[in-house]
Structure 1
Amino acid sequence: MSKGFGERLLWDIAIDQAQEADDGPKSEDAALFFIGSKNSGKTSIILRFLDRDEAPKPTVALEYTFGRRAKGHNIAKDVGHIWELGGGTWLSKLMEVPLNPDTIQHTTLAIVVDLSKPSEIWFTLETLLAAAKSRIESILTEMKQEQPGLKDKLHKKAWERVGEEHSDKTMIDPFLIPLIIIGGKYDVFQDFDSEKRKVICKTLRFIAHTNGATLQFFGLKQEQLVMRMRGLISHHLFGTTMGKSLQVDHNKPLLVAAGHDSLQQIGTPPLSDKDIGRVHAKNPMQLWKHAFTGFFPQDDISNPALVDDPAKDPQYQEAAIDSLRAQKDEELERYRRLCERRSKEAQRANTQTVY
Structure 2
Amino acid sequence: MAKTCTDKLWDLAAAEVQSRESGDGDDAGGGGEAVGERTVFIMGSKTGGKTSILLRCLDRDEPAKPTLALEYTFGRRATGHNTPKDIAHLWELGGGTSLSDLVQIPITAASIRCLSVILVLDLSAPSALWATMETLLQAAQAHVDQAASRARQVDKSRAAGKRSASGHFAARVLPKDFPDRELLSPFPVPLLIVGSKYDRFQELSSDKRKVICKTLRFVAHYHAASLIFSSIKLESLISKTKSFFSHLAFNVDVGKTVSCDPSKPLIIPAGADSFSQIGSPPTTDVDITSLHARNPKDLWKKVYQRVFPPENTGEKKEVKDPTKDPQYGEPQIDAMRAQKDQELEEYKKNAAKSWKGLQLDS
TM-score bracket, normalised by the shorter chain, equals 0.7 to 0.9
Q: Distance in 2 between matches of 1:151 and 1:136?
A: 16
3-state secondary structure, aligned to 1:30? strand
Shift of 1:298: 1.6
3-state secondary structure, aligned to 2:232? coil
- Structure-to-structure mapping, 1:243-282, within 5 angstroms: 243-282=255-294
Shift of 1:255: 0.4
Cross-structure match for 1:88: 96
* Code of the aligned partner of 1:306: E
Q: Distance in 2 between matches of 1:78 and 1:151?
A: 21
- TM-score w.r.t. length of structure 1: 0.82
Contact 1:88 1:302 in 2 (8 A): no
Contact 1:209 1:261 in 2 (8 A): yes
Cross-structure match for 2:38: 30
Q: Distance in 2 between matches of 1:25 and 1:151?
A: 10
- Structure-to-structure mapping, 1:134-153, within 5 angstroms: 134-147=142-155, 153=170
3-state secondary structure, aligned to 2:154? coil
1:110 aligned to 118, 121, 125, which one? 118
Contact 1:65 1:82 in 2 (8 A): yes
Q: Distance in 2 between matches of 1:87 and 1:178?
A: 23
1:317 has 2:329 as partner: yes
Shift of 1:277: 3.3
- Structure-to-structure mapping, 1:5-16, within 5 angstroms: none
Residues 272 and 330 from structure 1, CA distance in 2 versus in 1: closer, same or farther, beyond 3 angstroms? farther
Q: Distance in 2 between matches of 1:173 and 1:61?
A: 29
1:183 has 2:195 as partner: yes
Shift of 1:308: 3.0
* Code of the aligned partner of 1:131: A
2:250 aligned to 238, 258, 278, which one? 238
1:221 aligned to 233, 237, 243, which one? 233
Shift of 1:135: 0.1
- Structure-to-structure mapping, 1:163-178, within 5 angstroms: 164-178=176-190
3-state secondary structure, aligned to 1:252? coil
Contact 2:228 2:267 in 1 (8 A): yes
1:98 has 2:106 as partner: yes
- Structure-to-structure mapping, 1:55-94, within 5 angstroms: 55-94=63-102
3-state secondary structure, aligned to 2:192? strand
Shift of 1:336: 7.1
Residues 151 and 294 from structure 1, CA distance in 2 versus in 1: closer, same or farther, beyond 3 angstroms? farther
Q: Distance in 1 between matches of 2:311 and 2:218?
A: 21
Structure whose alpha-carbon radius of gyration is higher: 1
Shift of 1:250: 1.4
* Code of the aligned partner of 1:76: P
* Code of the aligned partner of 1:256: I
Q: Which segments of 5 or more consecutive residues in structure 2 lack a partner in the other structure?
A: 1-23, 29-34, 157-164
Aligned length: 323
- TM-score w.r.t. length of structure 2: 0.80
Cross-structure match for 2:11: none
When structure 1 is superposed on structure 2, of 238-247 and 105-114 the one drifting more is 238-247
Instruction: Encode CA deviations 1:307-336: one digit per residue, 9 max, x unaligned.
Output: 233322222222333334444555666677
Contact 1:89 1:301 in 2 (8 A): no
1:292 has 2:304 as partner: yes
Residues 209 and 226 from structure 1, CA distance in 2 versus in 1: closer, same or farther, beyond 3 angstroms? same
Contact 1:28 1:106 in 2 (8 A): no
When structure 1 is superposed on structure 2, of 283-292 and 28-37 the one drifting more is 28-37
Cross-structure match for 2:60: 52
RMSD: 2.9
3-state secondary structure, aligned to 1:73? coil
Q: Percent identity?
A: 45
Contact 2:72 2:90 in 1 (8 A): yes
Contact 2:155 2:169 in 1 (8 A): no
Residues 275 and 227 from structure 1, CA distance in 2 versus in 1: closer, same or farther, beyond 3 angstroms? same
When structure 1 is superposed on structure 2, of 310-319 and 199-208 the one drifting more is 310-319
1:155 has 2:172 as partner: yes
* Code of the aligned partner of 1:321: I
3-state secondary structure, aligned to 2:127? helix
* Code of the aligned partner of 2:216: L
Shift of 1:145: 2.7
Contact 1:123 1:300 in 2 (8 A): no
Q: Distance in 2 between matches of 1:101 and 1:231?
A: 27
3-state secondary structure, aligned to 1:241? coil
